[in-house]
């Protein structure tokens, strides 16, 4: 039986991946310090399905080294870290330690112990910064690119533009360079907006889930900017299918850096999501604030490279994905309300 170790395994992406790989009959080991909103609830949901759980912080080299050495996983899905631009601006040292030091600890554990594993690193589209040199147009309720019809590809310059972008971008470069220098088998996925069930989205991270949760719980939604910001959104089930394809691939190549998102066919602006919620009779209470540092007016992933390498593409449309997420929030409204009332 193949083994996968998932850091951040009680988070939104990690816990969904854990369930997915359990269904595929993999042995699943998760590592999480349970610091994220909803992590304890996610752990309770998956604990009986997984093989092992370690309440370990990846910033502690001795502990994460021991976990990796003891389990020798076939695949490591590294999904742990600090996830919000706003929090990185408030506390850049913690952001650095979580994202860069934690990633370096995992790389060193693999290198020092000569573990034959495949490392999948969940990076971010924020490594491209504000994309200030790309010309945009504003039509209706959204921004769009003037020329880049497919979106942003991997050849675009990285321009971090926030402590979060710096820490994630530096980690993504370390992962790629450890592949080149030490022959580690690594994959860097610069992920766009991921959304789906079991996502306890908050204002500064997980905006699709947050808009739905806040609307159903009758909380105010703050929109920073004009609301015409556009993101390509990728449903968690589609992302898990990609993880599985990579985990099972025979590819051992250099420069395994890929943009991963919903792509040009799966985009929403903030205002368009509000309109979509209205079709389900979900009302929103909006207030508008000034733009925040590091905000992108638009980001759309060009998935061409990942599609060609792994014969993968998103299947779940924004409408279908949002509908699934609404259903999950309504079904779990009492639990979600309790979490957010205590925040």
Q: Which has the minimum average pLDDT: 163-172, 276-285, 320-329?
A: 163-172
Q: Rounded mean pLDDT of the chain? A: 94
What pLDDT is attached to residue 22? 98
Cβ–Cβ under 8 Å, residues 88 and 162:
yes
Q: Which residue has the tokens 């370690």?
A: 54
pLDDT-based confidence at residue 78 (cuts at 50, 70, 90)? very high
Q: What CATH number does residue 179 fall under?
A: 3.40.50.720
**What phi, psi does 49 have (nearest 5°)?**
-90, -30
Choice among 54, 143, 164, 243 that is catalytic = 164
**Whether pTM exceeds 0.75:** yes
Catalytic status, residue 143: no
Upper half-sphere CA count for residue 327 (Cβ side, 13 Å): 8
Cβ–Cβ under 8 Å, residues 339 and 198:
no
| Three-state secondary-structure class, residue 238 | helix
Q: Give the residue with greater pLDDT, 117 vs 129.
A: 117
**What phi, psi does 43 have (nearest 5°)?**
-65, -45
Rounded Cα distance between 83 and 125, Å, is 12
Q: With 80 as the cut, is the pLDDT of residue 96 above it?
A: yes
Burial class (CB in 10 A: 0-12, 13-18, 19+), 159: middle
Rounded Cα distance between 288 and 52, Å, is 45
Which residues share a beta bridge with 8?
none
Q: Which domain holds residue 12?
A: 3-341
pLDDT-based confidence at residue 343 (cuts at 50, 70, 90)? low
Q: Could you give the number of structural domains in the chain? A: 1
Rounded Cα distance between 19 and 25, Å, is 10
pLDDT in tens, 23-55: 999 999 999 999 888 899 999 999 999 999 999
What mean pLDDT do residues 179-207 have?
Answer: 94
| Strand-by-strand arrangement of the 118-124 sheet | 52-54, 27-31, 3-7, 75-78, 118-124, 185-191, 257-260
41 Cα distance to chain centroid: 19
Sign (positive or negative) of CA dihedral 34, 39, 40, 42: negative
**What phi, psi does 259 have (nearest 5°)?**
-80, 135
Highest mean pLDDT (candidates 60-74, 136-150, 329-343)? 60-74
What mean pLDDT do residues 5-18 have?
Answer: 97
Cβ–Cβ under 8 Å, residues 175 and 100:
no
| Three-state secondary-structure class, residue 151 | coil
What pLDDT is attached to residue 161? 79
CA distances from 263 to 84, 108, 201 (A): 22, 34, 21
Rounded Cα distance between 9 and 45, Å, is 12
| Three-state secondary-structure class, residue 341 | helix
Q: With 80 as the cut, is the pLDDT of residue 293 above it?
A: no
**What phi, psi does 94 have (nearest 5°)?**
-65, -40
Instruction: Kindly state the percentage of the chain with pLDDT values over 70.
Output: 99
Alpha helices in 220-286 (DSSP H): 236-248, 270-278
What pLDDT is attached to residue 131? 86
């Amino acid at each position: 039986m193949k083994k996968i170790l998932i850091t951040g395994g009680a988070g939104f992406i990690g816990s969904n991946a854990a369930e997915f790989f359990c269904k595929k009959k993999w042995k699943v080991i998760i590592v999480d310090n349970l610091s994220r909103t909803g992590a304890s609830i996610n752990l309770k949901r998956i604990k009986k399905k997984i093989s092992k759980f370690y309440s370990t912080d990846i910033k502690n080299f001795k502990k994460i080294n021991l976990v990796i050495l003891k389990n020798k996983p076939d695949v490591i899905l590294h999904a742990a870290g600090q996830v919000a631009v706003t929090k990185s601006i408030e506390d850049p040292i913690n952001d650095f330690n979580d994202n860069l030091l934690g990633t370096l600890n995992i790389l060193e554990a693999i290198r020092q112990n000569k573990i034959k594993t495949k490392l999948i690193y969940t990076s971010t589209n924020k490594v491209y910064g504000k994309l200030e040199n790309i010309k945009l147009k504003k039509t209706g309720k959204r921004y769009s690119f003037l020329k880049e019809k497919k979106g942003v590809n991997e050849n675009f310059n990285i321009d971090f533009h926030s402590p979060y972008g710096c820490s994630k971008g530096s980690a993504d470069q370390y992962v790629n360079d450890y592949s080149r220098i030490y022959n580690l088998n690594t994959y860097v996925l610069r992920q766009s907006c991921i959304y789906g069930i079991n996502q306890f989205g908050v204002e500064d991270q997980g905006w699709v889930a947050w808009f739905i949760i806040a609307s159903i719980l009758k909380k105010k939604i703050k929109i920073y900017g004009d609301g015409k910001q556009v993101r390509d959104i990728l449903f968690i089930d589609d992302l898990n299918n990609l993880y599985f394809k990579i985990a099972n691939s025979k590819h051992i190549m250099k420069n395994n850096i890929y943009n991963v998102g919903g792509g040009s066919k799966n985009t929403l602006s903030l205002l368009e999501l509000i309109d979509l919620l209205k079709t389900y009779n979900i009302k929103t209470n909006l207030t508008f604030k000034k733009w925040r540092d590091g905000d992108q007016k638009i980001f759309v992933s060009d998935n061409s490279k990942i599609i060609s390498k792994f014969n993968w593409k998103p299947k779940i449309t924004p409408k279908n994905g949002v509908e699934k997420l609404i259903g999950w929030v309504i079904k779990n409204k009492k639990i979600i309300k309790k979490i957010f009332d205590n925040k």
